[in-house]
Amino acid sequence: MKRKIAVGFLACLVVVGVRAQEVDTVRMWNLQECMRYAVENSPRAVRQQLASANLRASYHEAIMQHLPSLSGGVGVSAGFGRNVDPGTNTYTTVNTLSNSYSLNAGITVFNGLQLLNNTRASRISQLRGEEQQQQVEDAISQETMQAYYDFAYALGTQTLAREQVEASRDNLRQGRRMMSLGLRGASDVAQLEATLASDEYNLTKVENNARTCELRLKQTMNYPPEARLQIDTAQRYDLVPSLETADVTEIVDLATATLPGARMSAMDVRLARLDLSTAKARLFPSLSASAGLGTSYFKNLKTDATPFSRQFRDNLSKSVSASLSVPIFGGWSRQTNIVRMRNNLRSTQQSHLETQRQIAVEVEQAVLDLNGSFAERQQAEKQVQARLMAYRVALRKYQEGLLSALDLQTTANQLLEARANFLRSDLTWQAKRKLVDYYKGIPLLAR
């Protein structure tokens, strides 16, 4: 019996050791890994990749339009009853069999540079699709970053709440010990018990909020909801002073040159200009050329026919043609289309200017938020130090019987609030710093 108990105890130790090892090997996700996972597993990003692939295919098609077109044909027919004899070109009632073969080629020599403009437009559209792909990935990265910092803040407040519960339990144990010695009354112990219950309630609330933030991060990342997700909250930017106001102009220039939205807006202007050039090209004549080869074979089913090779050679025909099309009058549709394309160009130029102004405002706001969050972080850090000193003094006074439990709870709550404010301001500063770096041309997701 003792041997069985010993074996069972060893098995329990092995299971506990294996589970402890599994806990130790849980992967810790940093911000870069979360954003990369979100981009690689986002249906939005996949749809945009497919759209970009279609634009690349359209560009290749536009290039191939410059090459001549080539087509071939083979036909066979059988005649029964009254039909035309190709040999005598007269009607006959003899059954016949005939074959035809053709090869044709054509090329557009000139059409007002429409083909060239279409190729350029397809190339710009392909580049615009790549920028739009980057814009989608950046949007996903920003959403993931916000959810990541929300989860990090929830985990931080959860840690603070647990520390508060432990401190309240220590105070309650000490209060009961002092009451047994006659140094404290029952009312003080009751107040300490109420404080512990309030702190435990707050811990439950922040734990629920942490689970909600974790689920929101999983949803943003398209991460399996049932799988565990632990993030590394230790990574931080190095603390640096706030930006100077003079740096804003330089950041605006970098943002308008590197952001996908600004580049797409500039490409829209180029596409509108090419559309206007194509509309004007429709006023010019178009010239096309073509060439063809053809031959045939005929057989009277009741008599012997000329050999196939001889008929193929003798019936061979060749053709070369050129076609010139001159637009004279088309109901003023071409001129109206030019007016539309010119107005579209002007509208696109105004949209481009509006995009640049919007980016400038966003950059200035981001820099202001960064400077403000840095100042808030500094003040929050000072507040934590002051509240911590006040709590230590209050705790010592309480232990000496010079302070009530209610006053101690008030001081502890003020310290908890100050630490939570510092955590929030620090994470806000981290996010704003990341956003300003993005405007400075540093990618959100490292390549």
Residue 3 pLDDT: 44
**Angle at the Cα of 271 (from 267 to 277), degrees rounded to 5?**
145
The DSSP letter of residue 65 is T
Q: How far is CA 268 from CA 127, 139, 201, 204, 353, in A?
A: 11, 20, 56, 53, 12
Residue written as token pair 């943002």: 255
Q: Which residues in 173-192 are b (16+ Cβ under 10 Å) and which e?
A: eebeebbeeeebeeebbebb
Element housing 199 (H / E): helix 186-221
Q: Are 140 and 45 in contact (CB under 8 A)?
A: yes
Q: What is the mean pLDDT of each run of 10 residues along the chain (447 residues)?
A: 40 39 63 94 94 95 91 87 68 78 92 90 95 95 94 92 88 81 76 86 93 95 92 71 66 92 96 94 91 88 79 89 88 89 96 95 92 91 92 85 80 89 92 92 85
Element housing 415 (H / E): helix 405-439
* Total residues found in the chain within this entry: 447
For the chain, the maximum distance between any two Cα atoms, rounded to a whole number of angstroms, is: 137
**Amino acid at the residue 269:** V
Residue 302 pLDDT: 72
Residue 87 pLDDT: 61
